[in-house]
Amino acid sequence: MTTLSDVRDRVRKDLHDTDAGSYRWTDAQLDRHIDRALTELSEAMPQEKTATLATTAGSREVSLVGLDVMGVEAVEYPVGEYPPAYIGFGTWASALFLHVETAPTGANLKLYYRARHVLDGSGSTLSSQQADFVAMGASGYAALEQAVYTTDHLNTGPNVPGDYREWGEARLTAFRQLLMRFGRPARVRRRRLYTPA
């Protein structure tokens, strides 16, 4: 399973920053760039999750507190019917509002939602390909940071800042093209429209 350390090592290899005695980027700096790339990847290629939640008798509102919900795809209520009974819904802050004529009786509903990917010291929800994408994006952000730093502090060659900037921008362009190609906008999804009451 891929960990944050694994992705950080990939980023260091991409940046040719593998000499532990004289790293150009600290772990904290790279972790910040990795987190930024992870956020972008999660928006384009989120985790697809489900949760079974209890309703409250007489209430059309269900709390989403405790779930890392980036967006709700569908709500099945009641659960267990065939074909599945998907209902209209709305969200606001950390609440889900059910668009049903009769208020729930306390039965469970099934929530289909998008969530941010996890990447930490113990593991990840990323596929190997997605971890490569995150490393690509993070290395691009790190290179742009280095270009700014080099411009402001020292120049070790005639075009060091420009070279870093160009390389970083090329990495980010490739990263974003991969997100467009493999992310949600590129996927065909069947949608069902609901007429509000």
Total count of residues recorded for the chain = 197
Mean pLDDT of 59-86: 94
Give the per-residue pLDDT at 197.
44
Burial readout 67-97 (b: 16 or more C-beta within 10 A, e: otherwise): bebeebeebbbeeeeeeeebeebeeeeeebe
Q: Are 55 and 109 in contact (CB under 8 A)?
A: yes
Mean pLDDT of 157-183: 74
For residue range 73-93, list pLDDT tens digits in order. 999 999 999 999 999 999 998
Mean pLDDT of 127-154: 83
Give the per-residue pLDDT at 186.
52
For residue range 102-119, list pLDDT tens digits in order. 999 999 999 999 999 999
Is the entire prediction scored with pTM above 0.85? no
Q: How confident is the model at residue 15 (pLDDT cuts 50, 70, 90)?
A: very high
Give the per-residue pLDDT at 124.
97
Decide: helix, strand or coil at residue 9: helix
Whether residue 135 has pLDDT greater than 80 = yes
For tokens 């093209």, the residue is: 177
Decide: helix, strand or coil at residue 93: coil
What letter would DSSP give residue 138? Answer: H
**DSSP H stretches of helix in the chain:** 4-14, 27-44, 128-153, 160-182
Q: What average pLDDT does the structure give for the chain?
A: 87
Rounded CA gap, 64 and 66, in Å? 6
